[in-house]
Chain A
Amino acid sequence: MNQQEMRTVYTQTLIELAEKDERIVVLEADLMKASGTGAFKNRFPERTFNMGVAEANMVGVAAGLSAGGKIPFADTFACFASRRTYDQFFISGNYAHLNVKLVGTDPGVASEYNGGTHMPFEDIGIMRNIPQLVVMEPSDPVSLKKLVIKSAYHNGCTYMRLHRKPVTVIYSEEEEFEIGKGKVLKDGTDVTLIATGAIMVAEALKAGEILNAEGISAAIIDMHTIKPVDTGLILQYAKKTGGIVTCENHQKMNGLGSAVAETLAENYPALLNRIGINDEFGEVGKLDYLLERYQLTAEHIVSTAKMNISSR
C-alpha cells in the first residue's frame, strides 16, 4: 500500500503554492516540528512566523496578515486551533471577512498519547457554527494536497482537520476536488457509509469489504467537506440505498452525523445511524486501542450498517 506522511504533503503543497504566489505565509505556535512546516521555513524563512505558545495571538496575527493582503496558513493541534482561538478566529478572521486558513492537527483519537487534554472531539461542531466557514477533513495525501490548494484560493476563512501521520493513498494524482462536493469511493445499493477524515474513511473502506463479503452492497462516500455539506449527494444516496451510516472521529453531536441528519430530516427522512464519540471526553492510548474504546472500528461500522438495514 502506498503511504505518504500527511504533514510532509501539507508542507510540500504550501511550498509549491508559495513558489508561485508570494502571498502565501505560514504561522506556527511552537509546533513546527510536529506539523512538519520546518521545510517551509527553510525555503521561505521570511514568510514563516513562529508565534510561540500563543495560539490566540497567532490567529489574530494571521488575520492582520490577511488584512495586509497575505494568504496565511496557521496551524496548531486541533484542540487549540478550535477551543483556544475561537473568538480570534471568529471575530478577527471570519466576522472581518478575512482569509485565515486555520489547520487543526491530530484531530480526535489521532492525539493518541497526548490524551484527553489534546483530543478534540468537538472542533467540527465548534467550527460549523461560524457563518460561511468552510470545514474540511481530507482523507488521503491526494485529497489533502488538492484541498489545501482549494483552501488557499477560497475567498474566506477555512478550517481543516489534519491527521499528520502516514496515510494510504486512495486517489489518483489526477483526481480533482471541489469544496463541498463529496466523493463516491464505492457504489452500492443496500446502505451508504458516509465517512470523513483519513482514519474513518479507512475504517469505512474496510467495513465495506467485510459487508461485501457477506453479500451486502454498501456505498462509501468520502465527505471531505463537512461544511458546506454535499446535500445533493446525501439525498441521492439516501434515496438509492434507503439508509445511511455516518463515520466520524468526532462527537456524534454537531459533526458530520448532525450535518447529514439535518439534511435528511428536512428533505428525505431515511434511517440514519451515527458512528462517533458518544458524549465522552478523550483519553490516552494507541490508535488501535482508542478506535476500539470509542467504537469507531470497521467492525462497529459493519454491525451498525446491518442494524440500519434490518431496522427499516
Chain B
Amino acid sequence: MEKQELEQLERKAKEIRKMTIDTIGYLGVGHIGGALSVIEVLTLLYYKHMDISPEEPKKKNRDKLVLSKGHAGPALYSVLADKGFFPGEWLHTLNKGGTNLPSHCDMNRTPGIDMTTGSLGQGISAAIGIAMANRLDGIDKKVYLIIGDGETNEGQIWEGAMAATHYKLNNLIAFTDYNKMQIDGYVHETMNIEDLNAKWNAFGWFVQRVNGHDFLDMDMAVERAKKELFRPSMIILDTIKGKGAFFAERRLDNHNMNVTYETAQEACRLLDQEN
C-alpha cells in the first residue's frame, strides 16, 4: 500500500468514526463499543477491496458483507451514507420510529446492507449460503463476514466453521472483531474463547491475526486471504472496544451505553485535534 493511500484510509476512518459517534450521540444511546472497534476493517473493505455500486445496491455481480455482529450497524451505516447508498441525513434517524436505520442490520430497510443480522451466530451461516450461491452462479466475488468475539461463544459459529471448510469456500473471508470484551465483562472472564487461532486452525481455516486498527497489517492479510485456493479465511483482528471515543474506549460498560450529544461532539472535536 502506498503512503498516500494509507493516509487516505486513515483520514476516511477518522471521518467514519466521527460520523458513528455523532449518529449514536444524536440518539443518546447505542452500541458504541463494538461499532468503534470495526471502523478500520469496514473502511479498508469498503474503500479499498469491495466491488460495490451505491447506484445499484442489488447488483448481482458484487462483493457482499455480512455484519454478523449486527449491533455494529451504526458504523456500517456511516460507511454506506458516506458512499452514497442513502442520504447522510438518515443517520440522525437511527432507531427512531419508522427509520430505515434500525440498531441491527436489516437488508430490507437499508440500501447496501447485504444480510439481516442481529441474532448472534447467524451471519456465518448466511455468508456460507451466499458464498455457495455465488459459486453456483459462477460469480467470482468475495463474501466478507465480521463476527464478534463474544459471538464466538455461539454454537452456530462452529457449525458454520465446519461447513465452510467442508465446502472449500475460499470465496469467504471472515474477520473476528477481537476487542476482548462482551456485555458482561472481559471475554476471558465471561466465556473464554482462547486459543482462538488454534480453534479456527483446527477447523481448517486459513488463519491470520493482525492489529485491527492497522491498515497495512489488515490489507496484507486480506490480500493473502484473496489468494487462498481451497480454504475460507479467518482474520482475527486485535481491536480496542470503543476505540477513539474518550468516554467509551476500553470501558467495560461500553457495549451499549448512554451518551449526551454534547459529549459525543466533544469526542469528535478531540479526534480532530489528533495529529
Given contacts A57-B163, A61-B163, A88-B122, contact A96 B116 (CB under 8 A): yes
- Asked if B126 is an interface residue, CB under 8 A from chain A, the answer is yes
- Asked if A60 is an interface residue, CB under 8 A from chain B, the answer is yes
Q: Which residues 201-227 of B sit at the A interface, judged by CB distance below 8 A? A: none
Q: In the bound complex, how far is the Cα of B133 from the Cα of A70, in angstroms?
A: 7
Write 22 A-B pairs (CB below 8 A) sorted by A numbering.
A49-B167, A51-B159, A52-B166, A54-B159, A57-B125, A57-B160, A60-B126, A60-B128, A61-B128, A61-B129, A61-B160, A63-B125, A64-B125, A64-B129, A64-B131, A70-B133, A88-B119, A88-B156, A92-B122, A96-B106, A97-B107, A97-B108
Q: Which residues 75-121 of B sit at the A interface, judged by CB distance below 8 A? A: 106-108, 114-116, 118-119, 121
- Asked if A68 is an interface residue, CB under 8 A from chain B, the answer is yes
Q: In the bound complex, how far is the Cα of B66 from the Cα of A46, in angstroms?
A: 24
- Asked if B240 is an interface residue, CB under 8 A from chain A, the answer is no
**Cβ contact within 8 Å between B133 and A69:** yes
**Cβ contact within 8 Å between B130 and A68:** yes
Q: In the complex, which residues of chain A have a beta carbon less than 8 angstroms from the beta carbon of B137? A: 68-69
Q: In the complex, which residues of chain B have a beta carbon less than 8 angstroms from the beta carbon of A58? A: 125
- Asked if B57 is an interface residue, CB under 8 A from chain A, the answer is no
**Cβ contact within 8 Å between A65 and B133:** yes
Q: In the complex, which residues of chain B have a beta carbon less than 8 angstroms from the beta carbon of A61? A: 125-126, 128-129, 132, 160, 163
Closest to B167 in A: A49
Q: A52-B163, A63-B122 are in contact. List 4 more A-B contacts (CB 8 A).
A: A57-B163, A64-B66, A64-B129, A96-B106
* Interface residues of A, Cβ cutoff 8 Å to B: 22, 25, 46-47, 49, 51-52, 54, 56-70, 72, 87-88, 91-92, 95-97
Min CB–CB distance A72 → chain B (angstroms): 8
Given contacts A64-B130, A97-B108, contact A88 B116 (CB under 8 A): no
Q: In the bound complex, how far is the Cα of B127 from the Cα of A303, in angstroms?
A: 54
Q: Is the interface of B mostly helix, strand, loop or mixed?
A: helix
Closest to A22 in B: B136
- Asked if B72 is an interface residue, CB under 8 A from chain A, the answer is no
Q: In the complex, which residues of chain B have a beta carbon less than 8 angstroms from the beta carbon of A22? A: 136
Q: In the bound complex, how far is the Cα of B166 from the Cα of A257, in angstroms?
A: 44
Q: In the complex, which residues of chain B have a beta carbon less than 8 angstroms from the beta carbon of A56? A: 121, 125, 155-156, 159
The interface centre, meaning the residue of A49, A61, A66, A96 with most chain B CB atoms within 10 A of its CB, is: A61
Q: In the complex, which residues of chain B have a beta carbon less than 8 angstroms from the beta carbon of A67? A: 107, 114-115, 126, 129-130, 133
Q: Across the A-B interface, give the 6 residue pairs with the lowest CB-CB distance, nearest first.
A: A64-B129, A68-B133, A60-B125, A57-B159, A96-B116, A64-B126
Q: In the complex, which residues of chain A have a beta carbon less than 8 angstroms from the beta carbon of B199? A: none
Q: In the complex, which residues of chain A have a beta carbon less than 8 angstroms from the beta carbon of B130? A: 64-65, 67-68
Min CB–CB distance A49 → chain B (angstroms): 7
**Cβ contact within 8 Å between B129 and A62:** yes
Q: In the bound complex, how far is the Cα of B121 from the Cα of A88, in angstroms?
A: 9
Q: In the complex, which residues of chain B have a beta carbon less than 8 angstroms from the beta carbon of A57? A: 124-125, 128, 156, 159-160, 163
Closest to B108 in A: A97
**Cβ contact within 8 Å between A92 and B132:** no
Closest to B157 in A: A57
- Asked if B188 is an interface residue, CB under 8 A from chain A, the answer is no
**Cβ contact within 8 Å between B119 and A87:** yes
